[in-house]
Structure formats: structure tokens, C-alpha cells
């Protein structure tokens, strides 16, 4: 059996990124490590531990690299949320950048929103259906 453990993204300022993912998105800082020999630092953030089956985000800071070309291959991280409208309002109030206001996806009924982290990575919020809304 396989399990998705984490997604790694390179960041230009580790402390700024940790603050965004923990204070703005509400994730927990799970662990950090430094590798002086190869000049990089790691921070793992998430809503739960990998050991519980939850995927997390690995923030990688390569010492001295302040900015990356994000390219066109990476799309976004996706996070399910019970109230994307309240989540986006809280993100905006905390100084975060909401790039697509919450609402139905074009041609469908799924409600989504997009925000951008300090390095320009896109994060999609998808409205989760509650048990009272059914599964469809």
C-alpha cells in the first residue's frame, strides 16, 4: 500500500513561509531541520501528521536563494475546508492575497477559491460538503 506523504516547494524566506502557512492558513509547524553541509533548511507544515495519513507540505529553503521561477508545470496545492467564504475572509484580514473569490467553478457547482502564498504558489480551497449536504 502506498500513501502520499508530502509535497515539497522551494521558498525564498523560510520564516515568512512558516508564518503564512501556520498563522494565515492555520497549519501546524510539525518539524524543522537544517543541513549546514549542503546549505538548506526544511520545515514541514500540515493540519495533521504524516503518520496519521495526512499529507503535509515540505518548505525547502536553499540558503541564499531568495526567489524562484515558478515555471508553468506546477499548478496548486488543494485544501478542503468546511467554509471557504469565512476562510478567505480570514486570509484577507490577515494580509493574505485572495486571487479568486469563493464561488462555483465555471460550468459546475463545486465551490472553490484561490489564494497565493508569499512566494507566489497558488492554493485552492474547495468547499467540503457536510454530512447534512449529502455526498453528491
* Spatial contact of 18 and 25, defined as CB atoms under 8 Å apart: no
Catalytic residues: 124
pTM assigned to the model: 0.85
The confidence score (pLDDT) of residue 102 equals 97
Buried b (16+ CB within 10 A) or exposed e, 78-108: ebebeebeebbeebeeeebebeeebeeeeee
Q: Where in the chain is the domain with CATH 3.10.180.10?
A: 6-62, 77-133
Mean pLDDT of 2-23: 94
Mean pLDDT of 86-111: 95
Mean pLDDT of 97-107: 95
Q: At a CB cut-off of 8 Å and minimum separation 6, what does 121 contact?
A: 9, 70, 74, 76, 77
The answer to whether residue 134 scores a pLDDT higher than 70 is no
CA distance 112 to 110: 6
The confidence score (pLDDT) of residue 20 equals 98
Cell matching residue 10: 522551494
Query: What's the CATH fold of domain 77-133?
Result: 2,3-Dihydroxybiphenyl 1,2-Dioxygenase; domain 1 (3.10.180)
The confidence score (pLDDT) of residue 53 equals 87
CA distance 117 to 131: 30
The confidence score (pLDDT) of residue 130 equals 60
By C-alpha distance, which of 26, 60, 22 is closest to 43? 60
User: What top-level class would CATH report for the domain 6-62?
Assistant: alpha beta
pLDDT tens-digit readout, 14-72:
999 999 999 999 999 999 999 999 999 999 999 998 889 899 999 999 999 999 998 88
Amino acid at each position: 500500500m502506498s500513501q502520499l506523504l508530502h509535497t515539497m516547494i522551494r521558498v525564498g524566506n523560510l520564516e515568512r513561509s512558516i508564518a503564512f502557512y501556520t498563522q494565515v492558513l492555520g497549519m501546524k509547524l510539525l518539524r524543522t531541520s537544517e543541513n549546514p553541509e549542503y546549505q538548506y533548511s526544511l520545515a514541514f507544515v500540515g493540519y495533521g501528521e504524516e503518520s496519521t495519513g495526512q499529507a503535509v507540505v515540505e518548505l525547502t529553503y536553499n540558503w541564499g536563494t531568495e526567489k524562484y521561477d515558478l515555471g508553468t508545470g506546477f499548478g496548486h496545492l488543494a485544501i478542503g475546508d468546511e467554509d471557504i467564504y469565512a476562510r478567505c475572509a480570514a486570509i484577507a484580514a490577515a494580509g493574505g492575497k485572495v486571487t479568486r473569490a469563493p464561488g462555483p467553478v465555471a460550468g459546475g457547482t463545486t465551490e472553490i477559491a484561490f489564494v497565493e502564498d508569499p512566494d507566489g504558489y497558488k492554493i485552492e480551497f474547495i468547499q467540503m460538503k457536510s454530512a447534512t449536504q449529502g455526498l453528491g
